[in-house]
Amino acid sequence: MKIYTSKIWFWAFITLLLLNITAFATMFYRLSEMRKDFEQVEQMPPPPGPRPPMRFNSIIQKQAGYSSDQLEQLQTLRLRHLEKMQNHRMTLRETQEELFEEVAAENPNPSRMDSLKHVISNSHANMIDESVAFYESVKTISTPEQLRELNKYYRNQNFNEPNFRGNRGNPKGRHENRGYRNNFNQ
């Protein structure tokens, strides 16, 4: 009986060893194939020809009827605005992280937390000021009718209002059917 049991353990060990070797060989093979695919993608040249227009431009041109010159001016204003907003968002995020670290500290400093809260509120105010300044500059290049259409577009994008083209008529808002799940109302 002892010989029979030791043979079973021996063959079980050999089987497991072969399975492990096969698993590692398969894993290394797959990783090398993935590396080759990534190298091919990195070496691909950019597609020839002019870049297709940005989605924003095509929507605005169709919806509001901006001319090519107006679109170019609007795009310049918009890119400048987005860059400034990105800087404000980075400042806001860094300050929020600092505040969280201060709150999570063993002995948080109340005056430091107050100053961080003040910086956060100033960042929010700066973002609002930048948005207002952007809107004012857009007013200078737009006709009243174009401005109404642009307002519809931005209202839809910022406030998730239904029945505008950006939501594709979805009455539940733009995040519905995108994989986001609202577990609070279920």
Q: Tens-of-pLDDT digits for all 186 residues of the chain?
A: 667 788 888 899 999 999 999 999 999 889 888 888 777 766 777 666 665 545 666 667 777 788 888 888 888 888 899 999 999 999 999 999 999 999 998 999 999 999 999 999 999 999 999 989 998 998 898 888 888 887 887 777 766 655 444 444 445 554 454 444 444 343
Is residue 33, in this structure, part of any structural domain at all?
A: no
Answer whether residue 177 is part of any domain.
no
Residue 11 lies in a domain: no
Number of folded domains that form the chain? 1
What sign does the CA torsion over 148, 86, 45, 29 have?
A: negative
Give residue 117's domain range. 67-162
CATH number at residue 103: 1.20.120
- Within a domain: 149: yes
Predicted confidence at residue 166, as pLDDT, reads 47
Instruction: Please state the length of the chain.
Output: 186
